[in-house]
């Protein structure tokens, strides 16, 4: 949120908190979500860099296009395990996957 908008809301008496506060997430839950989002973004970027469609990636990992779409959207039904395996199948080096998780 932009600082000026935040200030206006606070001046009007509103409390502006974080997503974690609103959803009452523990630190480890928040970290897990951030890791999953980062891997999903990395997957989409790696697929596009290799000029593959979602359907082509799905064929490569023996899955479906709709599953790849869910992976790229960080859908709750997608595991981190599947995201990592798919990145490796795209040829993303393990060190890059580790950097993505650490960021």
* CATH of the structural domain 26-102, one choice from 3.40.50.720, 3.20.20.80, 1.25.40.10, 1.10.260.40: 1.10.260.40
Q: How far is CA 18 from CA 13, 27, 37, 72, in A?
A: 16, 12, 17, 24
What's residue 21's pLDDT? 86
To the nearest whole percent, how much of the chain has pLDDT over 70? 100
pTM for this model (two decimals): 0.80
Domain ranges (residues) in the chain? 26-102
The per-residue pLDDT for range 42-92, each reduced to its tens digit, is 999 999 999 999 999 999 999 999 999 999 999 999 999 999 999 999 999
Task: State yes or no: pLDDT of 24 exceeds 90.
Answer: no
């Amino acid at each position: 949120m932009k600082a000026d908008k935040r200030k206006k809301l606070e001046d009007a008496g509103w409390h502006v908190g974080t997503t974690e506060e609103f959803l009452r997430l523990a630190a480890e839950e928040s970290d897990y979500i951030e890791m999953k989002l980062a891997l999903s973004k990395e997957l989409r970027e790696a697929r596009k860099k290799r000029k593959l469609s979602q359907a082509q990636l799905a064929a490569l990992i023996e899955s479906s296009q709709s599953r790849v779409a869910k992976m790229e959207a960080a859908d709750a039904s997608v595991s981190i395990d599947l995201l990592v395996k798919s990145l490796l199948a795209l040829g993303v080096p393990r060190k890059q996957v580790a950097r993505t998780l650490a960021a």
